[in-house]
C-alpha cells in the first residue's frame, strides 16, 4: 500500500526549487508513494497536472513580523489537520519558510521530517534547529551539505533534469525567439538565465558584456528571467537604466521569463552564469542538457556541475573581467565552444538525470517510513 508523503512549499511561483520538486513529483513511484503538496498559485496548478494531491494553503511570511509566532501556530494547526486527515506518514519541506512550518507540524504529529536544503546557509540558529528537528536532510550539493551541522543525517542529491525535453528539435521556436529579441540569425548570442535577483549576478553580466562588446561589437547578450516572486521591480529598473546609460541597448536584450526552456537554450550560443554563493545552479544542467557551453563563476555548487576546461569554463567569482575573458575566448574559438557543449551534454546525461535523482529521493523516503 502506498505511503502518503506531504511535500510543503511556501511559494506560488515556479523558481528552480519548485521546478525541481515538480519533476520529482511527476515521477515518484505511485506504487510506493502517494504525493501530497501544500502550495498555491502556479505551483499548485502545475502539481495537479503532475498528478499530486494538492492542498491549497499559503504559508505566511515570518521575517520581521511581530505576529510571526501566531502565524506559525495557525499554519501548523492547518498542517496537522491535513497530516491526520490524509494519513500522512512523512513530511518533506522544499523551501526555507516551509521548513519551519513543516518541522513543527511533523514533530507535533510524530511524523519524520525530511528537510530538503536548497540554499547556502550559515551555521546559525535556523540550521541547528532544523538539523535537530529533522529525521534526515537532503542537500542539493556538497557545498550546501558542508555547512550543515548534521553531517551524519545529510545526504547529497543533486537536482536532475528531464533530458527528453532537450532532445526534441526546437530550432523553429528558437528562431522565433531570436527574431522577437531582434538578434540576427548568424550573430553569437550569449544568454544569462536566472530570475531577477541581485545575487544572481545580472550586474556583473552587464559589466562583462560591456567589456566583450568593446572587442567584439557584433555579439548579442540576452538577460533571460523575470520578477517571478514580485519583489524585483526596482532591481529590474536599475538594470535597464544601467544598460541604457552605458549605451548597450542595441546589443543587450531583456528577454523576460521564458516558459519554453528548450527553445530558449536552443536560441543561445553560449551561457554565462554569475551567481555568487550558488547552492546548485539548475540553469547549468539545463544548459548542459541543451549542449550549450557555459562560462561561470566558481561559486558554491557550480564546481560540482561544470568540469573546468572540459564541460565549461570556471572563473573567479565576483570578477566580471574574468567572465568577459572567458566569453571572449569562446566567441573567438567556436570549435572549443562546440566541444565544451557536446561534453556538457554527455556529462549531464550521465550525472544529472531526473530519474536517478527521483530514485535516490525515494530511497531516503523508504528509510524514513
Q: Tell me, letter by letter, the H, E, C secondary structure of 263-312.
A: HHHHHCCEEEECCCCCCCCHHHHHHHHCCCCEEEECCHHHHHCCCECCCE
Rounded to an integer, the average pLDDT of 186-214 is 97
Q: Are residues 274 and 358 in the same domain?
A: no
Enter the C-alpha cell of residue 321: 573581467
CB atoms within 10 A of CB 236: 17
List all residues 6 or more positions away from 161 whose beta carbon is below 8 Å from its beta carbon: 23, 282, 285, 286, 289, 348, 352, 353, 354
Q: Are residues 345 and 357 in the same domain?
A: no
Q: What is the pTM of this model?
A: 0.94
pLDDT score at 67: 74
- What is the domain extent for residue 214? 163-351
- Burial (CB < 10 A; 0-12, 13-18, 19+), residue 293, is buried
pLDDT score at 328: 98
pLDDT at position 72 over 90: no
Question: Quick one: how far is CA 38 from the chain centroid?
Answer: 19
**CA distance linking residue 339 with residue 309, whole number of Å:** 10
The domain that holds 45 is classified in CATH as 3.40.50.2000
Name the pLDDT band for 69 (thresholds 50, 70, 90): confident
pLDDT in tens, 18-45: 999 999 999 999 999 999 999 999 999 9
How many domains would you assign to the chain?
A: 2
Q: Are residues 139 and 179 in the same domain?
A: no
Q: Are residues 180 and 201 in the same domain?
A: yes
**CA distance linking residue 116 with residue 255, whole number of Å:** 31
**CA distance linking residue 46 with residue 324, whole number of Å:** 38
Name the pLDDT band for 63 (thresholds 50, 70, 90): confident
Name the pLDDT band for 191 (thresholds 50, 70, 90): very high
Q: Are residues 138 and 251 in the same domain?
A: no
Cα–Cα nearest to 162, from 282, 13, 251: 282
Residue pair 327/213 in contact (Cβ under 8 Å)? The answer is no
Q: Are residues 265 and 307 in the same domain?
A: yes
Length of the chain: 369
Amino acid at each position: 500500500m502506498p505511503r502518503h508523503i506531504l511535500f510543503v512549499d511556501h511559494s506560488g511561483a515556479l523558481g528552480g526549487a519548485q521546478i525541481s520538486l515538480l519533476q520529482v513529483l511527476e515521477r515518484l513511484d505511485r506504487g510506493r508513494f502517494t504525493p501530497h503538496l501544500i502550495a498555491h498559485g502556479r505551483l499548485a496548478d502545475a502539481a495537479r497536472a503532475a498528478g499530486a494531491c494538492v492542498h491549497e494553503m499559503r504559508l505566511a511570511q515570518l521575517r520581521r513580523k511581530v505576529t510571526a509566532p501566531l502565524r506559525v501556530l495557525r499554519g501548523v494547526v492547518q498542517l496537522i489537520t491535513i497530516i491526520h486527515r490524509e494519513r500522512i506518514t512523512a513530511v518533506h519541506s522544499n523551501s526555507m519558510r516551509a521548513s519551519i512550518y513543516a518541522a513543527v507540524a511533523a514533530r507535533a504529529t510524530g511524523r519524520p521530517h525530511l528537510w530538503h536544503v536548497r540554499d547556502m546557509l550559515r551555521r546559525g540558529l535556523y540550521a541547528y534547529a532544523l538539523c535537530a528537528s529533522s529525521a534526515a536532510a537532503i542537500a542539493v550539493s556538497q557545498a550546501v551539505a558542508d555547512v550543515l551541522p548534521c553531517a551524519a543525517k545529510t545526504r547529497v542529491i543533486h537536482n536532475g533534469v528531464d533530458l527528453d525535453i532537450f532532445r526534441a528539435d526546437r530550432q523553429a521556436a528558437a528562431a522565433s525567439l531570436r527574431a522577437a529579441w531582434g538578434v540576427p540569425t548568424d550573430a553569437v548570442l550569449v544568454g544569462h538565465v536566472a530570475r531577477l535577483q541581485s545575487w544572481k549576478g545580472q550586474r556583473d553580466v552587464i559589466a562583462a558584456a560591456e567589456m566583450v562588446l568593446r572587442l567584439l561589437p557584433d555579439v548579442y547578450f540576452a538577460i533571460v528571467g523575470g520578477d517571478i516572486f514580485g519583489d524585483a521591480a526596482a532591481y529590474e529598473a536599475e538594470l535597464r537604466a544601467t544598460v541604457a546609460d552605458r549605451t548597450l541597448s542595441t546589443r543587450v536584450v531583456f528577454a523576460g521569463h521564458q516558459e519554453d526552456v528548450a527553445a530558449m537554450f536552443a536560441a543561445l550560443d553560449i551561457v554565462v552564469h554569475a551567481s555568487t554563493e550558488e547552492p546548485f545552479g539548475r540553469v547549468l544542467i539545463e544548459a548542459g542538457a541543451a549542449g550549450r557551453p557555459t562560462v561561470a563563476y566558481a561559486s558554491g555548487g557550480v564546481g560540482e556541475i561544470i568540469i573546468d576546461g572540459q564541460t565549461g569554463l570556471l572563473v573567479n567569482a565576483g570578477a566580471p573581467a574574468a567572465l568577459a575573458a572567458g566569453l571572449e575566448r569562446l566567441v573567438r574559438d567556436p570549435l572549443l565552444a562546440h566541444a565544451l557543449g557536446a561534453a556538457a551534454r554527455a556529462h549531464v546525461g550521465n550525472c544529472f538525470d531526473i530519474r536517478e535523482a527521483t530514485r535516490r529521493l525515494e530511497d531516503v523516503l523508504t528509510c524514513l517510513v
